[in-house]
Amino acid sequence: MTVTSAPPAACGTQNLTKVYAPDSDRPVVAVNDVSVEIRPGSFTAIMGPSGSGKSTLMHCMAGLDRATSGDAFIGSHNLSTLPEKQVTRVRRDKVGFVFQSFNLLPTLTAAQNIVLPLELAGRKVDRQLFQSITDSLGLGERLSHRPSQLSGGQQQRVAIARALVTRPEVVFADEPTGALDSRTGTALLEYLSRASREQDQTIIMVTHDPKAAAYADRALVLLDGSIVDDVAEPTAERMLGILGKLG
Ligand SMILES: Nc1ncnc2c1ncn2[C@@H]1O[C@H](COP(=O)(O)OP(=O)(O)OP(=O)(O)O)[C@@H](O)[C@H]1O
């Protein structure tokens, strides 16, 4: 008899709790005893009302913030017990971030900014991937411009391309379409969805937008720091209904 076990999770948490200002007279329990496994190659949306703990959970899962108690995993690495230096290494080797801050280098062109992480790591640029990402994000015409010659939305797209060009195993995206026009936002969501299906990248995205969540194959709903719903194949209507009931 062959016993097949589930493949190890790409990342996840076990009884993770994050308390801000724990020693004050007003501690804030931002994430409350969350245990979740994220399957490799899946695309997960994290939704919930403002202040429900979405960003905090994602930051702890990504190793950008430490849990107060419990564990956060990237693959087999337990970020809660690893020394900071090794957490940084796991992040660098396995994780990509699509956040709203750009941090582009002003003296480099858009193209040079995008490939910088690869050059710093001494890795080759995959020209086909570079082309596919920059085409998806509509950056083709802008690649030789410096950040100061780009609009805010274009700068954000350059930062997104930079996060994806290393083809990270796990991509964390915090409201990635927030500052994009709807056409570019849709192109980015389609790219992320394809990256999970075709390249086995694991995508975790915080979003307020039920239409964006519909690109994911799973949606976790947070309320007061706890997961209150776990929806397979979310649709915009379903998510709107669930969020509506939460107020
Ligand atoms: N650095 C901090 N110090 C103290 N409290 C914090 C800190 N960061 C977040 N919080 C609190 O933790 C709770 C969860 O915040 P978090 O930003 O994770 O929520 P969110 O669901 O991402 O919210 P939003 O949708 O508004 O971005 C909130 O009550 C927030 O006020």
- Residue 123 sits in a domain whose CATH number is 3.40.50.300
Q: Which atom of ligand 1 is the closest one to the Cα of 56?
A: 18
Residue with CA nearest ligand 1 atom 25: 50
Q: Which atom of ligand 1 is the closest one to the Cα of 48?
A: 21
Determine the distance separating the centroid of ligand 1 and the alpha carbon of 56, expressed in angstroms: 6
Domain that holds residue 41: 11-246
Residue with CA nearest ligand 1 atom 18: 53
Q: Would residue 153 count as lying in a domain?
A: yes
pTM of the entire structure?
Answer: 0.90
In sequence order, the 6+-apart residues with CB closer than 8 A to the CB of 230 are 218, 219, 220, 221
Count of domains observed in the chain: 1
Phi, psi of 172 (to 5 degrees): -105, 125
10-residue block means of pLDDT along the chain (247 residues)? 67 97 94 97 96 95 94 95 93 85 88 92 91 90 94 87 91 87 87 90 95 97 98 97 91
Q: Would residue 5 count as lying in a domain?
A: no
| Confidence (pLDDT) at 179 | 76
Determine the distance separating the centroid of ligand 1 and the alpha carbon of 129, expressed in angstroms: 35
Helices 152-164, 110-120: inter-axial angle, 10-degree rounding: 30
HSE-CB at 3 with a 13 A cutoff on CA atoms is 1
Mapped onto helix, strand or coil, the DSSP state of residue 36 is strand
C-alpha distances (whole Å) from 48 to each of 92, 138, 222, 240 are 28, 30, 5, 11
Interface predicted TM-score of the whole assembly (ipTM), two decimals: 0.98
Q: Would residue 3 count as lying in a domain?
A: no
| Confidence (pLDDT) at 144 | 97
Residue with CA nearest ligand 1 atom 12: 30
Q: Alpha carbon 138 to chain centroid distance? A: 21
In DSSP terms, 172 is beta-bridged to: 97, 204
Q: Would residue 2 count as lying in a domain?
A: no
